[in-house]
Structure 1
Amino acid sequence: MTNDRRFADMLHHRGQRLGQGDPVAPPLVSATTYHLAGLEGAAFKYGRMAMPTWEEVEEQLAILEGAPVVGFPSGMAAISAALFATLSAGDTVILPEDGYYTTRLLADRFLAGFGVKARYVATTAMEGADFTGAAVVFLETPSNPGLDVADIAVVARRAHAAGARLIVDNTTMTALLQRPLDLGADLVVAADTKAPGGHSDVLYGHVAGRDAGVMARVAEWRKLAGVVPGAFEAWLLHRGLETLEVRLSRMCASAMVVAERLSAHPRVRAVRYPGLAGDPSYKVAQAQMSDFGFLISFELEGEAEAEAFLDRCRYLTQTTSFGGTHSAGERRARWGDAVAPGFIRLSVGVEPVEALWSALAEALDA
């Protein structure tokens, strides 16, 4: 990650356009209407179609993804756009049964009503699943919250052989740690609310892809559905992206330390982190990721023990999101995920790792 020129290119993406006295940071432009004496030559016409601040952020994300990007007001808005742009009545979509639960709710409560059938497959079974008859295969790797990993290149080849497109939810990794489009995915979706924003103060998402026709449908969906981000939210995401590489480096390094120590703790069991040499996902993760991420999952004896640990740890915020500067922990069974009552998803932040571990150890030993 430290030798990745994409991040340097992203930081300086405005440099070649700057004139004398121009602002280095992109201006926050929230105008919904623009001067239109005539339509010819107008870069912006109406706020639902495009805004200058969106476009700056989409350029940044496009550099990281290596592909055109369309921005959205949340990760779920991006997922919805990708699915509605690629599915029609009568189609079948393959979804991970152990991935982000809201994607499954979207399929069950809305796509089904439009005549789209969903089939559910575990992330670990995706590489060998039967995709016959599917129009879209939707993969989330590492899965949230279980952190299982699938070989994106293998799934892409099998999906394409079955005549299906592959959409990969890359939220847990970001484009700096994993590049699904380079591995054969047709579209990438991500919630930039997480690590790219990084400060737990903005909702944002994006879709990236290299098929111009599909991306045109994604953009059309945004315009016609009115699922548009605000200029201020785009500007906040820009601020987060400026420090993404630095934050990820620290978060990933700290997560490795914490995962190793959790694995050795007598009260902790079932630790999952793709960077551990003994993790079932390690071999594939090592091949397709540039680092192993900042999410760890583990189990304590039961619900009471997990809740007490979360209450005691002074350096954990109890929140349902991840990827922020503050380390965060959550007992995922409370949302209905198919996990043990004492299962905890831990998002490692940017705290000094020894201070963080001291707080975690004290809470475990109390």
Structure 2
Amino acid sequence: MTDQDSNPQSRVLDMLHGRARKITKGESLAPPIVNAAKYALPGAPDHPFPYGRFDNPGWQAVEDAIGALEGAPVVSFPSGMAAVTAALMALAKPGARLLLPSDGYYTVRVLIDDFLAQHGIETVRIPTREMDSYDLSGFDIIWLETPSNPGLDVCDIEAICTRAHAAGAKVCVDNTTATPLLQDVLALGADMSVASDTKALAGHSDVLFGHVAAKDEALIDRVRQWRKLSGSTPGPAEAYLAYRGLMTLELRLERMCANADALARLFEGHSAVDAVRYPGLTSDPSHALAQKQMTRPGFVVGVTLADETAAERFITDCPAIFAATSFGGIQTSGERRARWGDAVPASYVRLSAGCEPTAALISAVQTTLDTL
């Protein structure tokens, strides 16, 4: 990888102009929505588009754009969990041992318990904060999610990858809460990057999407084969929406991260707040490590209020917070995560900073906090 390839701004430039560099006179800059189940296929079936389940021009457009940010080949999926499933199926052989964060996205744990366990997959679960010191001997797969969702703990990706590879294990990082622009997990040594692009990458809360990225051609081919054989394929219109949203990712992240930082500093000094988690705060236990491996500390803030009632009032009363279970959108959104069974206090709110004008957002949130 050249210095230019590893420069986030150069990658954004490649993402924005990648399609423009390939099209010819008269072609649209925006990728077309190709609603095709059948393609013309006379003779030998040796064309990139033999059938709608195999590939689609829209998939290729969005995969090329995300691939410019990841610095690696990408396979797209109809949701983040579809991407997670593909990554696990590509990595996990029967009887494999998997080290999994106990404080990561809970649906991954449910998927493993309800389906992968029946194939003899053995899992060991530990908190993200213990990943840095845990013995990786005997594991086949190390699954990381950092910053963790929803607790925002951080582990050292590069150091873990070095130890994992020495032990013969592959490392997959769920990079949803950071995106490739804020944290380049493949450059830090991960074998695979997976994300729910439903969140910040697409960013407009109007499409389900996901992707897997890997530099190892054999590994990404296995992911692509899983998509083809399982039929876990994104729709052409969804691919277009994901591509469209991706084009403004850098601009949105600038405002989202600035808003998250301002919110975290407001929470840190407010009497209605019992605790705040945000890797950008020097008081946060994840601060030093986040500074080392992230370009910015992200757009998600964790805030613990006095009790469950105060947390619910904060979300519903604030005119600048949208109550929702997803994150990474244009509007600031909040959710009391304990209602899903996450190991956080009952009054813990995961707040995803949006793209509102910073001063207006802070004013609205502070006014609400003052009433609690």
- CA-atom RMSD, angstroms? 1.2
Alpha-carbon shift at residue 36 of structure 1 (Å): 1.0
Partner of 1:157: 162
Alpha-carbon shift at residue 317 of structure 1 (Å): 0.5
SS in 2 for 1:127: coil
Corresponding position: 1:126 with 2:162: no
Q: Distance in 2 between matches of 1:244 and 1:165?
A: 29
Partner of 2:3: none
Alpha-carbon shift at residue 359 of structure 1 (Å): 1.2
Alpha-carbon shift at residue 3 of structure 1 (Å): 6.3
TM-score, L = length of structure 2: 0.97
Match of 1:136 among 141, 164, 177: 141
Q: Distance in 2 between matches of 1:115 and 1:64?
A: 35
Corresponding position: 1:331 with 2:336: yes
Partner of 1:267: 272
Counterpart residue type for residue 341 of structure 1: A
Range that drifts further, 288-297 or 9-18: 9-18
Unaligned 5+ runs, structure 1: none
Counterpart residue type for residue 318 of structure 1: A
Range that drifts further, 134-143 or 11-20: 11-20
Match of 1:43 among 15, 40, 48: 48
Partner of 1:355: 360
Q: How many residues align?
A: 366
Partner of 2:99: 94
Alignment of 1:212-227 (within 5 A): 212-227=217-232
Partner of 1:23: 28
SS in 2 for 1:171: coil
SS in 1 for 2:24: coil
SS in 1 for 2:173: strand
Corresponding position: 1:172 with 2:177: yes
Alignment of 1:51-62 (within 5 A): 51-62=56-67
Alpha-carbon shift at residue 43 of structure 1 (Å): 2.6
Counterpart residue type for residue 180 of structure 1: V
Alignment of 1:286-301 (within 5 A): 286-301=291-306
Counterpart residue type for residue 221 of structure 2: A
Counterpart residue type for residue 302 of structure 2: S
Unaligned 5+ runs, structure 2: 1-5
Partner of 2:10: 5
Corresponding position: 1:206 with 2:222: no
SS in 1 for 2:243: helix
Q: Distance in 1 between matches of 2:57 and 2:236?
A: 8
Q: Distance in 2 between matches of 1:354 and 1:316?
A: 14
Q: Distance in 2 between matches of 1:318 and 1:248?
A: 20
SS in 2 for 1:329: strand
TM-score, L = length of structure 1: 0.98
SS in 2 for 1:182: coil
SS in 1 for 2:125: strand
Corresponding position: 1:311 with 2:316: yes
SS in 2 for 1:190: strand
Q: Distance in 1 between matches of 2:103 and 2:320?
A: 28
Alpha-carbon shift at residue 130 of structure 1 (Å): 1.4
Q: Distance in 1 between matches of 2:55 and 2:160?
A: 34
Q: Distance in 2 between matches of 1:132 and 1:112?
A: 20
Corresponding position: 1:71 with 2:103: no
SS in 1 for 2:35: coil
Alpha-carbon shift at residue 5 of structure 1 (Å): 1.1
Q: Distance in 1 between matches of 2:121 and 2:46?
A: 41
Q: Distance in 1 between matches of 2:246 and 2:323?
A: 24
User: Which 4+ runs in 1 deviate beyond 3 A?
Assistant: none
Q: Distance in 1 between matches of 2:258 and 2:248?
A: 16
